[in-house]
Amino acid sequence: MGDMARAGYVLAPLLALVVAGCGATPVRPQASPSTAVRGLETVDEDAFWQIVGDAREQASDDPDAMAEVLEERFADAGDDELRGFQRQLVAASRRLYTWRHAAAADMVCGSVGDDGFTDWRSWVITLGRETFERIAADPDNLADVEDLTAGCAGAGELFGAAVSGIYYERHGYDDDTFPVLEPGGTSPTGTPPSGYPRNGTEPLRATLPRLAERT
């Protein structure tokens, strides 16, 4: 058999395979698990507020419904994601942990106590980033919130506990490395005016004039 004949003998089956494959449905490469689903390995401040904003929109501004949105969103999240969100939640809550913010909560809700103040701060976070930033900068800006009493009676409790509840359900309550909202017996920042809180919010009313007009 000549060289040309040999070449034709070898190439013919290959050409047939190529022609047959032209009509076949292409096989797409499968995405690896790491690229198929985008995780939240690091929840930075912007990501945190995006999550809060999304939950607020889905839940029509209802803090309890926002907690349910968070529980569903983070149900299958990794521990690092849970910790990342919780760190941002605690950081935001502590920005509100001042004597003036405590007085604002008391003026609106009555004496809220330590647990009530924690829940109140979580409620302020549910109002979204823009409102939170204004209240964090000056608690007198709480006067711009339409329903002041919406944050009373533990309104933010379920929201504040949504992600930590998932973590503790997995690992129990013995893990003291998970960030917690309660400041652990430390006093709020700033200096309380003379007579507050022992004598109620009257000493601070002059420093929260806009809020005082609404309470």
pTM, 2 dp: 0.79
Average pLDDT over residues 138-151: 95
**N residues, the chain:** 215
Instruction: Please tell me which residue, 189 or 30, carries the higher pLDDT value.
Output: 189
Whether the per-residue pLDDT at 36 is higher than 50: the answer is: no
The C-alpha angle with vertex 118 and arms to 169 and 154, in degrees rounded to 5, equals 80
Average pLDDT over residues 100-116: 91
Q: Which residue type sits at 176?
A: D
**Tokens at residue 53, please?**
């904003």
Write the CB contacts of 85 (distance below 8 Å, at least 6 apart in sequence): 40, 43, 48, 51, 74, 163
Q: Average per-residue pLDDT in the chain?
A: 82
| pLDDT at 42 (0 to 100) | 78
Whether the per-residue pLDDT at 38 is higher than 60: the answer is: no
Condensed to tens digits (0 to 9), the pLDDT of residues 154-167 reads 999 999 999 999 99
pLDDT band at 82 (very low <50, low <70, confident <90, very high): very high
| pLDDT at 199 (0 to 100) | 75
pLDDT band at 185 (very low <50, low <70, confident <90, very high): confident
Whether the per-residue pLDDT at 12 is higher than 50: the answer is: no
Average pLDDT over residues 162-185: 91
Q: Which residue type sits at 141?
A: N
